[in-house]
Structures are given as C-alpha cells and as structure tokens.
A and B are shown apart, each in its own frame.
Chain A
C-alpha cells in the first residue's frame, strides 16, 4: 500500500526536461508499474496472512492491525478534504459513525433474511463475502448521502466557518444516533447503550484488501482530471474558477468521496469492535483522525498511512503510559504546526516505480547535484 505514488508532478516534469536535454529518458510503461505495485501488495498480504495463520501474530495483535487499517482508510479519506482540497472539515467521525451504523444495521437485518449466523462470517462463506461487500457499500453510501447533505451548504463557507459547520453537523449526527429510537418507535441504533450483536466480520484479510482498494481509488482519482481540478481549487480557488473549473461541483465531489470512504471505514470499525456507541464518535474522534493527517503531511498519502499506523500502534505499545498519550498528541500537534506546518513528509509521496526509473536512467540525487554544480561553474566562466 505504500507504493501508491501521488503527486510530485513538478519534480517529475523538471527532471524530464533536464533528461530530454541529454538524450531520451527511459521510463517504465504503466502496466509494469501496476504489476510492481500488485506484486508488492500480494507479498505484504501473503506474509501477513502466513504470520497470522502461523501464530506469529497473536489474536490481540491482529486486532490492532485491523484498527491500523481502519485508521489508514480514515486518514487517507480525510486527506482528500484536508490535504488535496485544502479545507478543514471537523466532522469526519460523524461520517464514520453513519457508515458504521449503516453497515451494521444492514448486516444484522439481512442475516436472518438470508439465514446466516455470526459464525458464517468467521468461516467466510461466499454469500457472506457478497453481503459484507454490500454492507460496506451501504455504509459508504449512507455516509456519502450525509456528505452531500452537509457538503452543499457547508462548502459555501470558508475556513473556520466550514470547520465549525461540519463540527455542528457531526454533533447533530451524534445526537440523532442517540435519540433516533424514540422517534422512529423501534430499536434502530440502540441509543446510548449502543448497537450490539454485530457479527465480527472484520479480519486482517478484508481490512487489508479494503485499504488497498481505497488507496488505489483515491490515488487514481487524484491523478485524473478530477483530481487535478481539486488540487487547483486548493492552490487558488479564484484562479481555478477563472480557468473553468466548476469549483462547487469539485469541492462537493471531494467532500462526498471523503465521506464515502469514512463510511466504509466505519463499517469495518463496527465489525472490529462489535459495538457501536454514539459517544465514541464525538469531536475527539474527528480530531484524532485530523492529527494523523496533519502529522503525516497534508496532501501526502504515504504520510497519512505512516502516521495512522504509528499513532494507532504507539498507544497500544505504551499501554502503561496511556494517561500521557493524549498530552503527547497535543504537544506533538502544536510543535509540528510551529516548526513544520506542512507535516512531517510535506506533500512527498513514495513511489518504487520512480526509484526504479531513476536507477534505469542512472539519475541519482547525488549525481544531479554534481551536474548542477558543473553548470554553475560553466556559467561563471
């Protein structure tokens, strides 16, 4: 999953132009690039599965791994709205809860209809696989619908107002989840006690596959003209609009896609934890996800992946110091903002294919510096 290479277009184009001066540049064809990434994903998946089957990774550790995956999806999806679109929505946990409830309610209602029990999800019959995919999509679509409802009015506002209106919406979602049972008159979300009896359908395999699919989809979207339109809005909204980008449409699109994937992550979360409680999806959850994105670097998918992994595993590893965890979070957030506002990785993204291309062209960073220096010398002369 680390092999998704998002934007470094200025860098590539600059190097391409310098290479074209000294002859043709060797590049990898796209099918080869995809093949490299697919092989890497497969290796990671097989190693992970073997380690779990072989008992190298305990049950507890694999649950942590599942959460890592869920938070990666959340961070990468929030990154669309924060890093690529340049807005600050503070209601990601709201979308997550909508998706989680949507998926969990759909699955628990469909199971008796199809005659399935919770055990079938563990053994993994084909019907369950389709049902699970359906459930995650239902969760995602529920969240996306909320995203449209929230996004259209919210995206008329800018900056702080947008932050506060999304926060307001996510609080409303939380209150609705808490009280909806009394309104509809039957047990839907379970109120404050929570929705229980969710089958444990989340495992390493399906979390991993979802992470890969989500990263791939977001990566390809950001490489397409839609992605470029979104980046243009981030860089200068007025200039983008003047260049013919439909800013309202693309802002809403980015927001809705972000909400959709948050909903999918929520669906996986429901299956991982087994209980859905409205109190979990408060403001703090949104902040937690935001910290992951900001820390990793806004606009860097690899940054989001690394910081989501790190920030999920770290508290588990430091259980003894869990009281200090939140304070450390806060201090790190402030320090990063003061000393490195663009995040740890900035907008850098890792790409194995790019490195291979560099090796093929013998185009190494240190070599490039020498040629630049040589050019400077000749210019001085």
Chain B
C-alpha cells in the first residue's frame, strides 16, 4: 500500500514537472531561449485561481478557464514585450532579460499579494488519490494532444520548421513571429494547466513558488533532452520519482540537492540529455 502510494505520488509530482517542462522544451526548441519566467507564469496562474475562487467566490470551472487563459495571455505578452525586441541580440542578453522578467513577476506578486502563502480552496471533492490520478490522466492527454499538434497540424509543421532554421522558414513564407507567439501561447497554457493541477495537490500560492517549480521542471527538460517532447515527460517523471524516493527514505531536506546532482550527472555524461540530439557547431 505504501509503495503504491509512493508510486502514485511520484507519478503525480512527475506529471506536474512534465507539464511545466513541456513549456520549457517548446520555447527552447524554437528560439533557443531558456525561459526563466516560465515558472513564474505558473505562480500567476495559481494566484488567479485563488483570486477567482477565494476572493470572488466563483466556481472552480471558471477558475480553471481563467487561470489557463491568464497564463496563455501572460506568456504571449512577455514574448512580445521583453523577448521580441531582442530576437537578433546575443543569447546572453535574452537570457538576462528572461531572468529580469522572472524577477519582475515574482516581486510584483509579492507587492500585490504579500509574501505570505494564500490558501487556494479545493477544486473538486476528489480524495488525494483521485487528484493524483486526475493529474496523471490530464498530463497524458496534454502530451498526446501536444504531440499530435506538433506532428500533424499545419502550425505544428511551421513550429518545427522555425526551430530547424528560422531564416529558411521565413523564406518559405512562414510567419515566424506568429509561430513563436503561438509556441509561447501553447507552452504557457500548459503552464496554466500545471498551475491548476499544482494548486489542487498543494493548495498554496506563494510569490516564490514558481522559482523552485520552474527550476525543477527545467532540470526535467534538460534531463530528457531539451527540445524533445517525450524527453520532457520522461525527465519530469524521473525528477518526480527521485524527489519522492529521497523523501520516502527520510532525507527530505536533501531532495533539492539530489535533483540537481541528477542533472549534473546527466549533463556530464550526456550533455544533450537522454533524448537530445547532438548539434555540431558551425564555424
């Protein structure tokens, strides 16, 4: 029984990491940007849920829709305001801008909502096990839909083309800016789903929640091989299981260190991650 519970916990946590990691992977795949603000988008989503349910007293369905909508809009807005002007700038500048955006969202939330944790009311009447199973199912569905979107649809084809070669894609008549915005929208929508699932399980919203969640999810994306959708899922599950395992054997204070150690080992052994393709450098 306990083993089963731990496996479920691992899958649940891993699924949330996987959802967030998918957002990282998609954005990185298309513009090679490590979107530091991605974790903070989840934080905003969690606060929207709290606002809608605890402050306005509306139904959970509206909260879910508004959270995902707010995350999607925020993701696109961040891209337009902060990243789009730097499309041709050195990579370092965009990375630092991403850190700046993350910093801004975190401290903005702290200013508006205060530093203390806000308790998000429960969305459903499900038990903890039920929430766990729901999380896993939602993640699986999202992954399948995303894979179909990228592999089968026209916009998915455009996304793959832009990530392959932005200049050539533009010459082929693909609207690059539109495609990048769409990628941000999809990635951020997944972050919104992640935010809802996270607050279902942990019922708290704090200004800094996105930082650790985002970093762990990024670790998951890198572990699996950044740019790869199955990689993000596998990486997410791996990180989730590692954390649950370390907590289960009574070393919960060490779990962050174990996750990062896992990342370091994978990066040293296989710098492109488990599913990553190696890219040769052009001189």
Q: Which residues of A contact B (CB under 8 A)?
A: 86, 88, 153, 156-157, 159-161, 163-165, 167-169, 171-172, 175-176, 178-179, 238, 283, 287, 290, 294, 323-324, 326-327, 329-331, 333-334, 337-338, 341
Contact = CB atoms under 8 A, between A and B. Distances in A.
A290 B99 contact: yes
A148 to B, nearest CB: 15
8 contacts: A153-B267, A156-B268, A157-B267, A163-B95, A175-B257, A287-B99, A330-B101, A334-B82
Nearest to A323: B111
B86 A338 contact: yes
A294 B96 contact: yes
A330 B260 contact: no
B256 A159 contact: no
Q: Which 10 A-B pairs have the closest CB atoms?
A: A330-B104, A333-B100, A326-B107, A168-B260, A175-B257, A330-B103, A334-B100, A160-B34, A341-B93, A337-B97
Interface stretch (B1-9, B195-203, B211-219): B211-219
A360 B264 CA distance: 56
Contacts of B89: 337, 341
A160 B104 CA distance: 20
Interface of B: 28, 32, 34, 82, 85-86, 89-97, 99-101, 103-104, 106-108, 110-111, 211, 215, 218-219, 222, 253-254, 256-257, 260-261, 263-264, 267-268, 271, 281, 283
Contact of B211 (A88, A165, A172, A283): A283
A300 to B, nearest CB: 15
A330 B100 contact: yes
Contacts of B97: 333-334, 337-338
Contact of B99 (A171, A324, A333): A333
Label chain A's interface by main secondary structure.
Answer: helix
A172 B215 CA distance: 13
B92 A88 contact: yes
Contacts of B94: 337
Contacts of A294: 96
A337 B264 contact: no
Given A287-B103, A327-B108, A334-B101, A161 B90 contact: no
Contacts of B90: 341
Given A172-B257, A175-B257, A334-B101, 4 more contacts: A88-B95, A171-B260, A327-B111, A331-B100
Given A161-B222, A287-B103, A168 B254 contact: no
B6 to A, nearest CB: 22
Contacts of A334: 82, 97, 100-101, 104
A330 B86 contact: no
A171 B255 CA distance: 11
A175 B215 CA distance: 15
Contact of B267 (A165, A290, A341): A165
B231 to A, nearest CB: 15
B95 A179 contact: no
A167 B82 contact: no
A60 B32 CA distance: 46
Contacts of A161: 222, 267, 271
Contacts of A326: 103, 106-107, 110
Nearest to B263: A168
A163 B261 contact: no
Contacts of A86: 92
A163 B93 contact: no
Contacts of A327: 104, 107-108, 111
Contacts of B281: 238
A175 B253 contact: yes
A283 B218 CA distance: 15
Nearest to A283: B211
The interface centre, meaning the residue of B89, B94, B267 with most chain A CB atoms within 10 A of its CB, is B267
A86 B264 CA distance: 21
The interface centre, meaning the residue of A153, A178, A330 with most chain B CB atoms within 10 A of its CB, is A330
Given A160-B91, A324-B111, A327-B104, A338 B99 contact: no
A337 B28 CA distance: 19
B89 to A, nearest CB: 6
Contact of A176 (B93, B103, B108, B257): B257
A179 B85 CA distance: 44
A171 B257 contact: yes
A324 B104 CA distance: 10
A167 B215 contact: yes
